[in-house]
């Protein structure tokens, strides 16, 4: 009988968390950990993961134009200069003030005295004590503007209502999950305030720090499970994500209609939903751990190749260029979108993000508990956590011949892989036949000494065959080949 081969030179199918050979699609793999789809068909080690030290345990964070602003677990706020795209290292933190009850909401335009507009970071909270604040850069350092009141009257200046989320829609600042009048016929104030988790307050047009007292709308019904957790302008209107429904205000800020897109697939917090700029969509993890997206017209699921999980509580999502980073349970995933609209999942060799995650020109910043992390696509060696090379694992899908009821003689397998700019190494290879480990080798060898093509013996007769590679450092995986005797391999 002749020698046949099964070749995988295209890894664009990404990860499929499956067990049975027939459940895998073309170009899918059983395990991809510590790697991302670097080019349409090639796997490469994940970006450099840095842990920029600040000397503090961090509870929340955001950015001005050029600076990181963060809150410590003690409630103190600090700033530090954001590094350039190709730079890193420790961050020198400078104390701003103490305001433990405030949270980061997002960025808004802010007009200074003299009609100069700046980009400012808004901190606020629906149930906070104290007043909201804005941080913006002036003369090379962040400064704080503190609002004087939480209960604006029509057109009053320097008053910011209490709220949990915010966004800009055209010339309007929108606040969601708000405090507003308990008695609509009585003046708004501390004695006449109530939380409306489904409420949206529109600022005056072109004046995001001034408010008209009755410019409030409600999304859905008032209930304990209908909290607004995200608002995102799109070409057809405003996507409003609540903890009970995905909705859209179709039209513009001054004239729009309410439309329910879907119920029962909502996220549980604002950290679990994000805007994905490169695709023009909103993505989120719902209460059951499923990953979805919408453009305001329809709602679709993104995580078909992944296994179901028990819960999406504490999930965190953030977009990074054409990648979506999804933390759910104890795993951080990466979804890479292709030009043709297809997507490929991989698992990142990192702890999951636990709260805030922000994409910036310098990389993607996120919190691992109280530790600051930074994915750095343009700085630092790939396949490393700070100065330590991370372990990466690739396992092929189980291969079987078309008549899967009989054994096949699996002869050998080989790989074409090279070290990236930081160099990589092969820590071992293993064979899985009929789902059971049949053979392995664990000799750590730099890829530079192996050459681009490496070949090992397989394990002999079995119904299915899969090969596993254990790698480290900066690795580029181009091709996997499996040789067997007789039959035709099923793709």
DSSP-derived secondary structure letter, 349: S
- Would the pTM count as exceeding 0.85? yes
Tally Cβ neighbours within 10 Å of residue 355.
18
pLDDT at 180 over 60: yes
Percent residues over pLDDT 90 in the chain: 72
Name the phi and psi angles at 451, rounded to 5.
85, 175
Distance CA 166, CA 383 (A): 36
User: DSSP of 13-81, one letter per residue?
Assistant: TEE----SGGG--TTEEEEEESEEEEETTEEEEPPEEE----SS-EEEEEE-SSEEEEEETTSEEEEEE
pLDDT digits (tens, 9 = 90+) for 87-131: 999 999 999 988 888 899 999 998 886 678 899 999 999 887 788
Distance CA 45, CA 43 (A): 7
Q: Could you tell me the domains of the chain?
A: 3-46+392-485 (2.60.120), 48-321+353-379 (2.130.10)
pLDDT at 491 over 60: no
User: Two tokens at 307?
Assistant: 């296994």
pLDDT digits (tens, 9 = 90+) for 453-481: 788 888 788 999 999 999 999 999 999 99
Q: What average pLDDT does range 345-368 have in this prediction? A: 96
Least confident residue range of 216-220, 231-235, 305-309, 487-491: 487-491
Q: What average pLDDT does range 165-179 have in this prediction? A: 96
pLDDT band at 362 (very low <50, low <70, confident <90, very high): very high
Higher pLDDT, 45 or 446: 45
pLDDT digits (tens, 9 = 90+) for 214-231: 899 999 877 778 999 999
Nearest Cα to Cα of residue 196 among 219, 213, 172: 219
Q: Which residues contact 304 (CB under 8 A, 6 or more apart)?
A: none
Q: What average pLDDT does range 434-452 have in this prediction? A: 81
Higher pLDDT, 452 or 194: 194
Q: From residue 392, give the alpha-carbon distance in Å to each of 16, 195, 237.
A: 16, 48, 43
């Amino acid at each position: 009988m002749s020698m046949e081969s099964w070749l995988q030179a295209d890894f664009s199918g990404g990860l499929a968390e499956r067990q049975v050979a027939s459940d895998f699609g073309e170009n899918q793999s059983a395990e991809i950990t510590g790697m991302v789809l670097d080019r349409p068909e090639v796997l490469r080690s994940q970006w450099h993961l840095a842990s920029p030290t600040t000397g503090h345990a961090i509870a929340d964070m955001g950015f001005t134009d050029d600076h990181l602003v963060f809150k410590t677990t003690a409630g103190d706020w600090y700033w530090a200069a954001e590094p350039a795209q190709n730079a890193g290292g420790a961050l020198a933190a400078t104390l701003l003030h103490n305001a433990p009850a405030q949270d980061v909401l997002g960025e808004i335009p802010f007009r200074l005295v003299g009609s100069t507009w700046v980009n400012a970071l808004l901190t606020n909270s629906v149930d906070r004590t104290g007043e909201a604040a804005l941080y913006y850069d002036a003369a090379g350092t962040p400064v704080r503007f503190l609002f004087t009141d939480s209960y604006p009257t029509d057109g009053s200046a320097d008053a910011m209502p209490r709220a949990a989320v915010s966004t800009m829609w055209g010339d309007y600042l929108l606040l969601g999950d708000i405090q507003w009048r308990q008695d609509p016929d009585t003046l708004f104030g501390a004695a006449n305030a109530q939380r409306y988790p489904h409420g949206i307050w529109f600022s005056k047009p072109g004046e995001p720090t001034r408010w008209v007292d009755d410019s409030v709308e409600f999304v859905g019904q008032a209930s304990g499970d209908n909290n607004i957790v995200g608002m995102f302008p799109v070409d057809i209107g405003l996507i409003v994500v609540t903890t009970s429904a995905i909705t859209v205000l179709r039209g513009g800020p001054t004239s729009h209609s309410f439309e329910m897109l879907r119920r029962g697939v909502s996220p549980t917090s604002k950290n679990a939903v994000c805007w994905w700029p490169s695709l023009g969509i909103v993505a989120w993890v719902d209460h059951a751990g499923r990953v979805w997206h919408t453009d305001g017209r329809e709602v679709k699921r993104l995580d078909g190749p992944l296994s179901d999980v028990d819960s999406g509580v504490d999930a965190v999502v953030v977009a990074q260029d054409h990648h979506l980073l999804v933390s759910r349970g104890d795993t951080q995933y990466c979804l890479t979108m292709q030009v043709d609209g297809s997507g490929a999942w991989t698992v990142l060799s990192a702890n999951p993000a636990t709260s805030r995650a922000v994409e910036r020109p310098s990389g993607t910043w996120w919190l691992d508990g109280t530790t600051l992390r930074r994915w750095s696509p343009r700085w630092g060696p790939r396949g490393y956590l700070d100065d330590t090379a991370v372990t990466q694992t690739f396992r092929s899908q189980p291969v079987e011949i078309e008549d899967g009821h009989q054994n096949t003689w699996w002869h050998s397998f080989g790989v074409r892989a090279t070290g990236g700019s930081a160099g990589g190494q092969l820590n071992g290879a293993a064979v899985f036949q009929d789902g059971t480990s049949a053979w392995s080798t664990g000799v750590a060898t730099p890829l530079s000494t192996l050459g681009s093509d490496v070949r090992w013996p397989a394990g002999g007769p079995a119904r299915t065959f899969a090969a596993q590679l254990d790698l480290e450092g900066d690795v580029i995986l181009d091709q996997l080949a499996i040789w067997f005797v007789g039959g035709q391999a099923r793709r």
